[in-house]
Structure 1
Amino acid sequence: MYFGVDYYPEHWDIDLIDSDLKRMKEMGVNIVRIGEFAWHLMEKEEGKYDFSFFDMVIEKLNQNELKVMFG
């Protein structure tokens, strides 16, 4: 069974991500949904995509053994 949260790291100071993920793990979260409202970061110019921010977030989630649901 999944127990998850929505997470919008693009709206917070990126220095908080490690402590945020630690708290999620402590709460028993095992899946995190990201990306729904961040298209402006992924396609700043029409037809030119940059997923580097979320590549970093997904890597951190993987390091914390959290599954990802990318919206």
Structure 2
Amino acid sequence: MFALISVSIAPAFALLSFFYLKDEYELEPIFSIFRTFLYGALLVFPIMFIQYTFNEEGIAQTVFLQSFFCVRSF
């Protein structure tokens, strides 16, 4: 589980550090950047719950609605 989490967070940290170090004029405070990153990571969990509920309850059964609400891995 640790490997999966670290592999999923590594590209985000790489992009975050790239854009942070590329800014030449006025660097943002690192605390606000980290807080924004953390809020974005925490927003994933309610979205995962909604997606799981849609799949289990049979909501959005048409192909059109599944393309917007649910992603199924084959």
* Higher normalized strand content (fraction of residues): 1
* Higher normalized helix content (fraction of residues): 2
Same fold at TM > 0.5: no
